[in-house]
Structure 1
Amino acid sequence: MTTTTAQQQLRHIVHLRFELPDPARLQDLRPLLEQVTPQVQLLEPDHAVLDVTGALRFWNRDAAEIARLLQLRAAAHHGLRTAAATAPNPMVAAMACVLTPPGHLTTVELDAVAAFLRPRPVRELTGVGPTTARLLIQHGVHTVGDLAGLPLATVQRLLGARTGRTLHDRAHGHDHRPVLTEPVARSTSAEHRFTRDELDPAQHRRALLDLAGQLGTRLRTGAQVAAGFTITVRYADGSTTTRTRALPEATHHTTLLARSAYDLYESLGLQRARVRSITLRGENLSPAEHATRQLTFDHTIDKTLLIEAVQDRARRRYGTDVIKPAALGHPAVRWRYTSM
């Protein structure tokens, strides 16, 4: 037995879904949950995940009994009905909790994980979005069991190497993600100030590309993704215009962030505006490991993202300015030759 497998078998995860009248109240529940275990991760707007592995001996209870205790305390102290599920890993616990009515508890034991997952529709598997689900169904993969029954190489040919391996592992009930106890920053921003009030839309777009690159690098370094985007344009007279938009999918890829930034910029309809500065803010941040990228059937995007990974490695080693888009390079120097 490998160390990874042993660690997975020893895990006991509780997933809770609260009936909150106000999503802002989720943070109020943290002290109650941390009375049971410090391994608590809040998932907005109304979910919480707890790793109670280390708390079993202290409470002299199993994971299901701890989940019932949490349901009782949430009702007694906050008047909340709570759906709960326990499982050997966060993915199975989350999938079981979605199927559990408020006030009830579902327990999936380690030896029952395969039986629980096998009949579930493939679209319910963590990481399978609408586009991926349609592609799998077109190839006769309707359930998680169908996906688990395919050879890894076949899944990777359909979905790509990284996504294919991840979903193949999850279809077999494997999920090694930890419960993250530290809260994730909710937003991050970058600002570009022009040396003079700028009229040229081409320079505005050049600044947007640079800002998207800064945000993308920062998000990837922090293993985060952004689900929303805000652009703020400050003009020569000091006034500002702000636009906010939810991204089609949470991402940390510079190419996708830049496209959204361009779309937001175009929505402003600027006509001969003297722009003093532009600020981009990535919002609703979450851990990158919880995000999925939908298939686009556009191979140029896949190539761009592979190049981006190479660029990140080079920048970590040689500095942030070692590689940049051609549009952000210095203007070409024009040489003039003189005949002698």
Structure 2
Amino acid sequence: MSGDGEGGPDILCLRFRRAGGGLPDGAGYAGLLALLGAFTPVVEALPPDGALADVSGALRYFGRDARGLASLIRVRALALHGVDCAIGAAGSPLAARMAARRAAPGSTCVVGRGEEAVFLAPLPVAALDGVGAATARTLCGYGLDSVGRIAAAPLATLQRIVGVRTGRDLWERANGIDRSRVEPNAAARSIAAERSFPRDELAPGEHRRALLSLTEELGARLRGEGQVCRALAVSVRYADRTGYATLTRSRTLREPTAHSAALTALAYRIHESFGLQRARVRGIALRAEGLGDAGRASHQLTFDPADERARRIEEVADLLREKFGPDAVKPAGLAA
């Protein structure tokens, strides 16, 4: 779409992918945020794989439009960190995020100011920020299956369907109205891992198997580094009618932990909350957030012999992996 130049878009949303595929690690992600910081101090981290940047000052300084500045950032990210970027450029954070999801790695999708509603109109309602699977099913049941139909619906009708506040927020987003700003922040301390399928995977059992593998990997890394995490974020990349979309949700653990069983249980619950029955999933990523020193973390005693036994087995498994390698011990669910 057009719209570069004077009065054009000045918000960039970047999605990072290593040149060989996969997410950047924690140190790499921090380096990418620092790279953006060299262009503008107004950078908002969007773990596990993105960032928002208000580049209004940088456009004037570098004498480039949004597309040109995005190209410069992409070249530096690839040269310095081996990471490619899918970039969305728009006049608001909402439109920039939506544009980044439609941009392929190595490309920039630009949404001009005043063109937000036109850009959003053909997208399925589930692609709109803030619309979960349950809300999307409800709206589709009333024939409101695209963002354009949401935008054209009477506000009062939407409010009767989903509630007064939610209805207004939904109507404004569908019409490209976004009052939010880029909020500078630091990336929370976190570690991440990802599993990609060689082709779109429909089997829920394979999705759960990937999650189990991820929680085992992150749990072992946390315990090996003497750390615990306070929250988990699950990202699912799946095929929809317009290409590929990514859903990310995070939840806080009952207590800071590195116990793989606790991480797996929460990861399964987050995944189930997406409601992606028969979804064609291409990849799943997991990020452990809010890392802290395991020595300072408290553990609520449960007097549950099964939990105690699982923790003892975990300790022995960690010792065996340290001695014989990471594949020495695996859960039964990952056995070939």
1:23 maps to a residue whose letter is: D
Structure 1 Cα separation of the partners of residues 120 and 80 of structure 2 = 34
Structure 2 Cα separation of the partners of residues 144 and 99 of structure 1 = 15
> TM-score of the superposition, structure 2-length normalised?
0.55
Write the mapping of 1:186-197 to structure 2, written as runs, cut at 5 A.
none
1:162 is aligned to 165
- Equivalent position to 1:84, from 62, 84, 87: 87
1:58 is aligned to 61
- Equivalent position to 1:105, from 104, 108, 111: 108
The answer (yes or no) to whether the contact 1:13–1:51 under 8 Å persists in 2 is yes
1:16 is aligned to 14
2:162 maps to a residue whose letter is: L
- Secondary structure at 2:71 match in 1: helix
Q: Structure 1 pair 156/186, CA: closer, same or farther in 2 (3 Å)?
A: farther
Q: Structure 1 pair 185/99, CA: closer, same or farther in 2 (3 Å)?
A: closer
The answer (yes or no) to whether the contact 2:9–2:111 under 8 Å persists in 1 is no
Deviation sequence 1:59-99 (CA, Å, 0-9, x none): 21111111111111111111221111101111111111111
For structure 1, which runs of at least 5 residues remain unmatched after alignment?
Answer: 1-8, 188-214, 216-224, 234-239, 251-264, 274-340
1:300 is aligned to none
- Secondary structure at 1:98 match in 2: helix
1:231 is aligned to 255
The answer (yes or no) to whether the contact 1:232–1:242 under 8 Å persists in 2 is no
| Per-residue deviation, 1:231 | 3.2
Structure 1 Cα separation of the partners of residues 187 and 43 of structure 2 = 13
| Per-residue deviation, 1:43 | 0.9
1:122 maps to a residue whose letter is: V
Aligned length: 208
Deviation sequence 1:273-329 (CA, Å, 0-9, x none): 9xxxxxxxxxxxxxxxxxxxxxxxxxxxxxxxxxxxxxxxxxxxxxxxxxxxxxxxx
2:148 maps to a residue whose letter is: G
1:28 aligns with 2:26: no
| Per-residue deviation, 1:142 | 0.8
| Per-residue deviation, 1:112 | 2.0
**Structure 1 residue ranges, 4+ long, deviating more than 2 angstroms after superposition:** 20-23, 183-187, 230-233, 240-250, 268-271
Structure 1 Cα separation of the partners of residues 135 and 113 of structure 2 = 27
Bigger Rg over Cα: 1
Structure 2 Cα separation of the partners of residues 17 and 64 of structure 1 = 15
CA RMSD of aligned residues (A): 3.3
Higher relative contact order (CA 8 A, sep 6+): 2
> TM-score of the superposition, structure 1-length normalised?
0.55
| Per-residue deviation, 1:11 | 6.0
- Equivalent position to 1:131, from 108, 111, 134: 134
